[in-house]
Amino acid sequence: MHQFLVERLNEVTVNNSPEAAIDLARVSDIDACGCQLLALFMESLKRRGTTPVLAAVPATVRERIESLGFRDLLALQPEP
């Protein structure tokens, strides 16, 4: 998983995108380790000058992120 994220990070930052949507539509569940990995990935994007934005977050995943205490760290926006 780490190698995949490193490759994706390189793709996003090579394109000099000011913002990167991280689509979670196909994520059915997440645990604390997954939240930590996502937070590290998002922080790496920020350090490279790209603003990460979580997109299409399923309600169950949103609830898990919030219950695990990662809402602020992952900059999870309120539901529309």
Asked, for residue 75, whether it belongs to a domain, the answer is yes
Asked, for residue 74, whether it belongs to a domain, the answer is yes
CATH of the domain at 59: 3.30.750.24
- How many structural domains are present in the chain? 1
- What is the value of pTM for the model shown? 0.82
Query: Quick one: pLDDT band at residue 63, thresholds 50, 70, 90?
Result: very high
Tell me how far apart the alpha carbons of residues 69 and 61 are, in angstroms, rounded to a whole number.
12
**Which are the contacts of 76, defined by CB distance < 8 A and separation ≥ 6?**
54, 57, 62, 65, 66, 70
Asked, for residue 6, whether it belongs to a domain, the answer is no
Asked, for residue 35, whether it belongs to a domain, the answer is yes
Tell me how far apart the alpha carbons of residues 30 and 51 are, in angstroms, rounded to a whole number.
22
Tell me how far apart the alpha carbons of residues 13 and 17 are, in angstroms, rounded to a whole number.
6
pLDDT digits (tens, 9 = 90+) for 7-59: 777 777 666 778 888 999 999 999 999 999 999 989 988 988 889 999 999 99
Domain around 80:
20-80
